[in-house]
Structure 1
Amino acid sequence: MKTKLIFLLLLTLLSLSTYGQVVIKGKVTDAETGDPIPFASVLLQGTSVGNSTDFEGNFLITSSSRADSLLVTYIGYLPQAKALESGNEHTINFQLRPSDIQLDAFVFVAGENPAYDIIRKAVDKKKQFDKRNLNAYETKNYTKIEIDIDHVSEAFTKRKAVQKVTAVLDSIKQLTNDEGEKILPVFFSETLSSFYFRNNPELKKEVVEKSKVTGVGITDGSTASQITGSAFQEYNFYKNWLNILEKEFVSPIADGWRGFYDYDLLDSIKIGEDSVYALQVYPLREQDLAFTGTIWINKETYALKQVDLTIPREANLNFIERIKIQQELTATEQGALIPSKTRVQVKIGQITPKTAGLLAKFYTSVDSISIGNPKPTSFFNQAVVLQPDFDSEGAEFWNQNRKDPLSTEELAVLQMVDTLNKIPVIRFYSEGLKFLATSYLPIGKFDLGPWPGFFNYNNVEGVRLGAGFRTNMKFSNKWALEGYAAYGFLDQRLKYHGGVTRILDRNRWTTVKISTQKEIDQVGLEMENLAGNSVFLAASRFGTLRKPFISTNHKLELRRELFKGFILSGGLKLNHFDPLYNFYHRDEVGSELKSEFNTTEAKIGVRYGRDETFIINDNERISLGPSRWPIFAVNYSQGFKWLKGEYNYSKMNLVISQKLNMGMLGISKYEAEAGKVFGEVPYPVLENHLGNETLFYTTAAFNTMNFNEFASDQYFSIRYRHFFEGFLLNKIPLIKKLKWRAVANANVLFGSVSEANKSHAPVMDPEGFPLQPFQGLDSNMPYLELGYGVENIFKFFRVDFFHRMTYLDDPDTKPFAVKVSAQIIF
C-alpha cells in the first residue's frame, strides 16, 4: 500500500511538472531570401532561458519559466519579438530583415583586445585542423542548388514576352519574399556524389552517383551535373585565401589576420557539447576583399566550430549585392575538420532599374566521412565523373534518399521550373541565348553554326557567305563530325573544312582526328592559332586582309591524357601555301624564285597542368583552368622533304603560364614563351609575331605592333598582366563609387633571324619590282610595350592605353594605342 502511495505521488508530481512546462518550437528565416538563419539567438524575454537555431534555422525551447514574448536576435539582422499566447505548446516562425546598421568597434583603453588572443591561438593551431593535412579522405555528399529571378521591376513585368510567361504561371502558387515581391525560379538541381581527396600530390575527384537538373533552357543535364556537385562549392577557411568568383578573399584566421581584420568578443556560449567563443569579424578597410560576420571558436581546442560570414557590398564586386557563407564543421578521427554543412547565398542586383536581379542558393551536406586509404594517382585523371545512370531516377528515389526533405517552397520551385520549360517564348529566348553564346544551334543530332561564319566581308573575298554543322551526343558519344563551306563572291572561290573525330576513351581523354581544309589565311594571323580569340579573329578577317594566302591542308591529330594533368599530343600535317599577295622565296638551291611551296610537318607535344580542372561538354573537353600551379607546354615539330614536303627543318617552343595571387595588391598573370626554328625556310614558316591593328584588346598579341611586322627564328617573350582589383582606385572617393579597377601590362619580346633565313626573302620579284621584305628584331634590343588601363567601366567595359617603347624609327609604327574590350567580371 505504501509503495502504491509513493508511486501515485510521483505520478502526480510528474503530471504537475509536465503541465507547467512550456514547449516552444519554430524556424528563423531570412525575410528577403526565405533561407534559414542558423546560429540565431532565441530568448524568452525577461528570463535567461533560450537557445540557438540549428543549421536549418530550427529551434526548440523547453522551460518551466513563462514569458509574454519571444525575442530573436542575430548580427546583421533587425531583432524581432513575437507575443506568446496562453498554453504550453507553441509553434512560432520568424522572418528577420537584414540590417544596414553596422556595429561600432569596441575601443579598449588599456590592455589588448581579448579577441586577439583567441584568434592568435586559433591561427597557431591551423595546421592541426586543416583538412589538407589528411593523407586522404572520402565523403558522401548531397548538394542542392536553386537560382531565382529576384527584384522583378514593374518595367520588366510589362514587357510582352514577360507577360506571356506570367499569364501561364498565374495558375501556380506564386513564390514571394517577405516583402511581397515575386520570385521567379529558373533552375533547381540535386546531386548525390562521392568526393575523394588525397595529398602529396594534392588531388580531388567527385563521382556523381545521381543527379537531377531542372532549368530553363537545359535539355541535357550532363554538362550541368558536372558543375552542380560539391566539388565547386568547397570553402576551406583554414586556407589563407579563398577563391570566390575568380577573386581571392582573405580568411578571418589567415596568417596575416592583423593586416586585414578587427574582432569583437561577443559571447561565450555552448553549442552541443562544446563551449565556444563567438567573435564578430569585420574588415579594417571596407574595400578589402574580406568577410564580415561571426565565427565560433572552440574554447578548449581553438578549432573553428561554425562560421556565418558575408562579403559586403562595399567590397569591389560587380553586380553582387551580397555573398553569404554559412558553415558547420565536424572533427575527424585525426582531428582535422571537414565541413558537414555549407550554405551559400549569392545575391545579384539589377543591372539597370528596368531589369531583374538573380538569387543563387547553394547547399551541401556531408556524411559517411572515411579517413585514409588514398586512391592511386590514376584514379584522379578526371576531376568530375558521371555514373552511366546518373540521371535515371525519379521523384520517389529522391524522396527516399535526400537527407532533408524539400520545403513547400522548394516543391513549388520544381513545379514552376518545369512549367517554364514548356512555355514557347521561354524556349525561344533560352535557345537564342545559347546560340549566341556557343555559336551553334542544336537541331536534333546536329548543331548548326558557327554563326560568325555565316557572313563576312573583306577586300579579297568581297561578300562571303557560309554555313556549317557539327554532330552532338545524340548522334554519337564516340564519333564527332564537323564541317562548313563558304563562298566569296569577289574571288569566286569555294572554301571548306571537314573533320572526323573518334573518341577512344572519355576517362583518360583520348581522341584521333582527321581533317581537310581549304581556306584563306593570313601570315601571322593563322586561324588555328587564334581559335581562343574569336572576337579578335573575326575583327582581323573583316576589311583588309594582311598578307593573305590560300592554305590547303590535311591533318592527322592524336591526343591522350597519360595521367592527371599530363596530356600527350601528336600529329602529321601536309600544307600547301598559295599566296594572294606579292610573295617570293628562293628554292633550296637558292637560284630560282618561287611563289608557292609545300610543307610536311610531324608534331609532338606535352602539356602539364598539376591542378588544372576539366569538364566534358558533349563531345568536347573544356578546361576550367588551374587554381595555383603553372601550366607547362612543350612542342616539337619536324618538317620533312617527303609526301610533297620541300624543306627539312625543326621547330621547338616552350610555354609557361600561371596566375599569381598577390594578396591585397591584386592578381597577376603571365605567359612566357621561348622558341627556335632550325633550318632554312621561307619566312611564313618562321615565328611571325602576332601584332594588333584592330581596336580590340587581346592578351595574345603585342598591342602596338603592326600585323606581320616582325618574324624570328629564335625568340623569347613574356606577357605580364596585373589586376589591382580595388587596391589603387578604391582610395579615390569618386572612383570608388564607380567601382573602376586599375590594370597594368608589360610585354617584352627578344628575337632574331639568321642570315640564311633572311636570304630566302628576296627584295625584287622576277619582274624586277620591289618586294616588301619582312623585318627581324635586333638581337641586342628587345621589343617593349607598357600599358595601363581601367576595367569595370559601366560594369562591362575595359580601356587600355599602350606605349611602344622601342623600334620607333619606322614611320608606320604607332607609339601609342588605345584598345577596348568587353568582359563580364565580378
Structure 2
Amino acid sequence: MTRTFLFIFAFFCFTEATAQFIIEGKVTDAETGDPIPFASVLVKGTTQGMNTDFEGNYSLNVKSLSDSLVVSYIGYLTLAKPLEKQAEQTINFQLRPSDLQLEAFVFEAGENPAFDIIRKAVAKKEDFDKRSLMAYETNNYTKIEIDIDHVSEEFALRKSVQKVTSVLDSIKQLTNDEGEKILPVFFSETLSKFYYRNNPELRKEIVEKSRVTGVGITDGSTTSQITGSVFQEYNFYKNWLTILEKDFVSPIAEGWKAYYDYDLLDSVLVGQDSCYKLQVYPRREQDLAFAGTIWINKETYALKQVDLTIPKEVNLNFVERIKIQQELLPTSAGPLIPKKSRILIKIGQVTPKTAGMLAKFYTSSDSVRLEEAKPTSFFNQSVVLKEDFNTGTEEFWIQNRQDPLSSEELAVLQMVDTLKKIPIVRFFSEGLKFFATGYLKHGKVDVGPWPGFFNYNNVEGVRLGMGFRTNLDFSNKWLLKAYGAYGFKDDRFKYSASVTRILDRVHWSTVSISTQKEIDQVGLEISSLEGNSIFLAASRFGTLRRPYLTTNHKLNFQREIFKGFLFNASGTYAKFDPLYDFYFLDKDTRDYRSKFETLEARFSVRYGRDEIIIINDNERVSFGPAKWPIVQVDYARGFNALGGDLSYDKLKFYLYQRLNMGMLGVSRYELDAGKIFGEVPYPIFKNHLGNETLFYTTAAFNTMNFNEFASDQYVSLRYRHFFEGFLLNKIPLIKKLKWRGVANANVLFGSVRDANISNVPDMDPDGNPLETFGRLDPQKPYVELGYGIENIFKFFRVDFFHRMTYLDSPEAKPFAVKISAQIIL
C-alpha cells in the first residue's frame, strides 16, 4: 500500500515536472489593429519566451508558468496579462504606442560598437541589393485597407455621419480596447506577377486577379493598376527611399554617419540566422529619416528585417505616423528580395472636429525566379490587367491568397460593402469625384467639365457651357468628346468635338480627329492647357489678353514605339481671326492683313526612360519619372498651300528632371528651347508667358508682364529648389512651425530676326497705333530670382521675386510678391 502510494506520488511529481503548457496568441497595435512583428513575449520571472513572427503571432511551449505573460517592444508601452493554470490558453495583446526618445546613447570610451556593424553592412551593399540582379520574377500578393479613424464626438454627432453609423451595426466589431471607432472605406486584394530587369532598369506587373471594394469606386480597372506591388516597393539598399513624394535617407545609406546614431541592443536568433539587433535614431529630429530597429546578419552583414517609423517630429504635414516593417529573403544569387512588407500611414485630423485617416499596405512575395532578362518591349506598359482580372470568386481567394484574412479584415470587407450602398455616402463620394475630375459619371457618359459651365469675361460677357465624354462602359476602343458654349455679349456659339479610336492598348496607339471653334488668347493657347480644365476655365474670366477667334480641324496619331518612347504625328488646319487690333505684312501681296490661316504638319517624340504609365479608362496617365529626365523634341512644318497662308518650320526641345540633392532637398529643372524658320506674324512666335496676378505659377515668368516679350528663337531654364526644412529646421522657433524654404531662378535668352520684325506695323491702315511685341536683346538674358517660404499654416506659400534685368522699361516691376495655396505633406 505504501509502495503504491509512493509510486502514484512519484508519477504525479514527474508529470508535473515534465508538463508542457501551450500559450499562443497575437500582438497587435491598439490604434491600428495591425500586427506587431518581432515583439518580445516572455513568461514573467523566467527565461522562457520568443519573438512574434511577421504576422504578430506567437506560440510558446513552456514547462512552468508564473503569474503573468509580458509583451514588450521598442516604441510601445509594455503590457502584462495574467496566466491561468491551464494546459492550453490563448492570450492576445494590443500594445499602445509610446513617445520614442530619440536621444542617442553616449559612449564614454572608444567607438560606438554599432558603427563597425553599419560600416560593414554598407560595404556589402552591392552584394545584397536586388538591383544587382540582371532579372527576376516573383508572384506577389498585395492588400490595401483605408480607414477613417479618430472619429471625434463632434464628427460622430453630425447628421450626415449619424445616417451612416446607424446603418453600420457591425461598427462595434472594429474598435480598439478603448472603444475608438474605425470606419473602413476601402479594401483591395491583388494577385500579380512582378518582373524586373536591369540595364536599363525596368519593372512590370501583370495583375492576374484583383478584388476592389470601396466608397466611390465605380470601376476597378483603373484602381487595380495602382493597388498592386509596383507602387509598394521599398528597397533599403537604396540611399534614398521615396515615400509620399518625399525622399527619406536609408539607415544603411552612404554617408550614414551624417544622419543617424545607432545602439547595439542585443544578438538574437531570427529564424536560423544569428543577427545583430540595432536601434536607429535620427541625429536631427526633423530630418527625413527613420527611427526604429534593424536586424543585420552576424555572418554576412545582410539586412534580415526592419521595423522603422518616421517620427512625429519630422517636417511633414498631417502625417502622424509612417511605419515600415519588412522581412527579407536571400535569393540563390545572393541579393535580397523583400518577402513580406507592411506599410502604415496615419493621417491626423485637419481640425479637432474632423476625422483622421489610416492607410495600410501589405505585400508578400513567393516563387522567386532568377530568369534571363526579358526584352525591353515586354516592359512597354508598367501595369497590365488580364482580361478576367476581376472574376475571382470567394473560394478562389481563399485558395490562392498567400496569407489568410484575419477576422478583423473579414469584418472590414463586410462593412465596406455595406457602406458604399448607403445613399448619402454615394452622394458625397460622387460629389467629391465630380469636383476633383471635373466630370460626373452618368451611365456610359461623363458630364462636364464643371469649370466650363459658367465663365465671365470682357469679350463674351456671361458664358454658359456644357459637355460630355464617353467612358469605359461605352467602349474600350472608342472615346467621344463634345463641348458647347455660348457667350451672351459677343452672341457667338463655341464648340469642340473629337473622336478617338484606340488601336492598341499595350503599345499605346490611337488615332483621333477633332474640330473646334473657340476664343483663344495669344501666348495662352488652349492647346497648352489641355488636361487642366480648372486653369483653362480661370483663363476665361476677367479681361482676355489679345483674344482671337480660332477655328481648327486636326488629325492626330500617336504610338508608343518601345518602353517610354512615344511618337506623335498630326495635321492641323486653323484660322486666326483677331478680336483686337492686329495687322501683319503679307510679303506676297505687300498688303497688311489682320487674318490668316495655317496648314501645319507636326511630328514629335517623347522619351521617359523610367516613367511610370497607367491606362486610366481610355486615357494614358503618367506618374512621372523616378530618376531619369523626360526629353521631348517637336518639329512642325507650315505650308503655303491648300488654304494655308504661311510657310515656316518650327523646332522645339524640352527637358525635365527631378534631382534628389540629399540633405539639401529636391530640385526640379525645365529646359525649353525653340526656333522658327521663315517669316511669320508674331502670334506664331513663342509669346513668353508673364504673370501680372497676385498668384504664383510655375508656368510663367513671375515678374514679366503679359505679352511683354516674344521670340522666334529662344532658350529658357527654370530651376526650382525645395529645401524640405534644411536650414530652417535648425532655428529653434521656426522649426516648430515647420516652415520650408524654396528658391527659384528663371533665365530666358531670346531674339527676333529682322525679317520678322518688319512684318509688324506700328500703325493700322487708318493711322491708329497697334499693339506689337517686345523683343529681347540676344546678348542680354531676362533673369529673375526668387525665394520664399512654403508650408505656412500647412497650406500657404509666399514667394518674393526680383527682376534682375530689363529694368529700364516704364512698366517693369523690379520686385513682386506672389502667394499660393497648396496641400503638401
Q: Secondary structure at the match of 1:419?
A: helix
CA offsets 1:38-70 (integer angstroms, 9 cap, x no match): 001111222222111000011112122432221
- Letter matched to residue 787 of structure 2: Y
Matches of 1:591 and 1:701, distance apart in 2: 36
Whether the aligned pair in 1 keeps the contact of 2:568 and 2:605 (CA below 8 Å) is: yes
Counterpart of 1:413 in structure 2 is 412
Q: Cα deviations across residues 765-789 of structure 1 (Å, max 9, x unaligned)?
A: 1111111221111111111111111
Amino acid at match of 2:417: D
Q: Distance in 2 between matches of 1:18 and 1:650?
A: 95
What is the aligned partner in structure 2 of residue 153 from structure 1? 152
SS in 1 for 2:381: coil
> Partners in 1 of 2:623 and 2:13 — Cα distance?
64
1:128-143 to 2 correspondence within 5 Å? 128-143=127-142
Residue aligning to 1:821: 820
Corresponding residue of 1:644:
643
Residue 530 (structure 1) shift: 2.2
Distance 1:336 1:684 in 2: 58
Structure 1 residue 532, shift from structure 2 partner: 4.9
Residue 14 of structure 1, CA deviation: 13
Question: Residue in 1 aligned with 2:618?
Answer: 619
Instruction: Show the counterpart of 1:333.
Output: 332
**Unaligned 5+ residue runs, structure 1?**
1-7
Distance 2:64 2:22 in 1: 10
Is the aligned partner of 1:313 residue 2:286? no
The one-letter code matched in structure 1 to 2:19 is G
Corresponding residue number in structure 2 for 1:123: 122
1:440 and 1:768 mapped to 2: Cα distance? 49
What corresponds to 2:384 in structure 1?
385
Q: Return closer, same or farther for 1:730/1:640 CA change in 2, 3 Å cut-off.
A: same
Report the Cα distance in structure 2 between the residues aligned to 1:636 and 1:80, rounded to whole angstroms: 69
Question: How do 1:661-676 residues align onto structure 2 when only pairs under 5 Å count?
Answer: 661-676=660-675
Structure 1 match to 2:581: 582
Cα-Cα RMSD = 1.6
Structure 1 residues 55 and 14: CA distance shift in structure 2, 3 A: farther
Question: C-alpha displacement at 1:533, in angstroms?
Answer: 4.8
Paired residues for 1:108-507 under 5 Å: 108-170=107-169, 173-507=172-506
Q: Which moved more, 1:114-123 or 1:724-733?
A: 724-733
- SS in structure 2 opposite 1:632? strand
Give the Å deviation of 1:76: 0.4
Q: Secondary structure of 2:296's match?
A: strand
- How far apart, in 1, do the equivalents of 2:671 and 2:170 lie? 59
Alpha-carbon distance change, 156 to 317 in structure 1, aligned in 2, over 3 angstroms: same
Aligned to 1:89: 88
Please give the secondary structure, in 2, of the residue aligned with 1:168: coil
**2:822 aligned with 1:800:** no
Residue 820 (structure 1) shift: 2.2
8 Å contact kept, 1:800–1:818: yes
CA 1:661–1:266: 2 relative to 1, 3 Å:
same
Q: 2:29 is matched with which residue?
A: 30
Q: Distance in 1 between matches of 2:307 and 2:298?
A: 18
> By how many angstroms is 1:103 displaced?
6.1
Could you tell me how far apart the structure 1 residues matched to 2:810 and 2:485 are?
38
Query: What is the DSSP-based 3-state SS (H/G/I as helix, E as strand, rest coil) of the residue aligned with 1:418?
Result: helix
**Which SS does the other structure have where 2:167 is aligned?**
helix
Give, in whole Å, the separation in 1 of the partners of 2:65 and 2:418: 48
How many angstroms apart in 1 are the aligned matches of 2:680 and 2:71? 79
Determine the structure 1 residue equivalent to 2:3. none
Per mean C-alpha deviation after superposition, the further-off stretch among 114-123 and 173-182 is: 173-182
Could you tell me which residue of structure 2 aligns to residue 608 of structure 1? 607
Q: Distance in 2 between matches of 1:62 and 1:69?
A: 15
Report what 2:738 is aligned to.
739
Structure 2 CA distance for partners of 1:171 and 1:231, relative to 1, 3 Å: closer
Shift in CA distance, 509/13, structure 1 to aligned 2, threshold 3 Å = farther
Query: Per-residue deviation at 1:821?
Result: 2.1
Partners of 1:824 and 1:508 in 2: CA distance: 35
One-letter amino acid matched to 2:735: K
Q: Is the CA contact 2:438–2:533 (under 8 Å) kept in the aligned structure 1?
A: no
1:162-193 CA distances to partner (integer Å, 9 max, x unpaired)? 11111111365441122211110000000000
Which has the higher mean CA deviation after the structures are superposed, 183-192 or 731-740? 731-740
CA contact (8 A) 1:287 1:315 kept: yes
Instruction: Measure how far apart 1:695 and its partner are.
Output: 2.5
1:501-529 superposed Cα distances (whole Å, 9 cap, x missing partner): 00000011001110000000000010111
Q: CA deviation at 1:101?
A: 4.2
1:588 Cα shift? 2.2
Judging changes above 3 Å, is the alpha-carbon distance between structure 1 residues 645 and 18 closer, same or farther for their aligned structure 2 residues? farther
For residues 439-486 of structure 1, what are the alpha-carbon distances to aligned partners after superposition, in whole Å with 9 as ceiling and x for unaligned?
000000110000111000000000000100100011111010001110
2:171–2:182: 8 Å Cα contact kept in structure 1? no
Q: Does 1:694 align with 2:693?
A: yes
C-alpha contact (below 8 Å) 2:549/2:579 kept by paired residues: yes
**2:754 counterpart residue number:** 755
Shift, 1:728, TM fit: 2.3
The 5 Å alignment of 1:535-614 reads 535-589=534-588, 591-614=590-613
Deviations 1:268-317 (A, max 9, x none): 01111110000000100001100000000000000000000000111111
Q: Is the 8 A contact 1:320 1:348 kept in 2?
A: yes
Counterpart of 2:354 in structure 1: which amino acid? T
Q: CA 1:671–1:103 in structure 2 vs 1: closer, same or farther (change >3 Å)?
A: closer
Does the CA contact (< 8 Å) of 2:172 and 2:181 recur in 1?
Answer: no
The answer as to 2:766 corresponding to 1:767 is yes
Confirm or deny: 8 A CA contact 2:173 2:408 kept in the other structure: no
What residue identity is the alignment partner of 2:179? G
Give the whole-Å Cα distance in 1 for the aligned partners of 2:11 and 2:509: 78
- CA–CA distance in 1 between the matches of 2:100 and 2:672? 52
Q: Give the Cα–Cα distance (whole angstroms) in 1 for the partners of residues 695 and 616 of structure 2.
A: 29
Is the 1:174–1:182 contact (alpha carbons within 8 Å) kept by the matching residues of 2?
Answer: no
Supply the distance in 2 between the matched residues of 1:700 and 1:171 (Cα, whole angstroms). Answer: 50
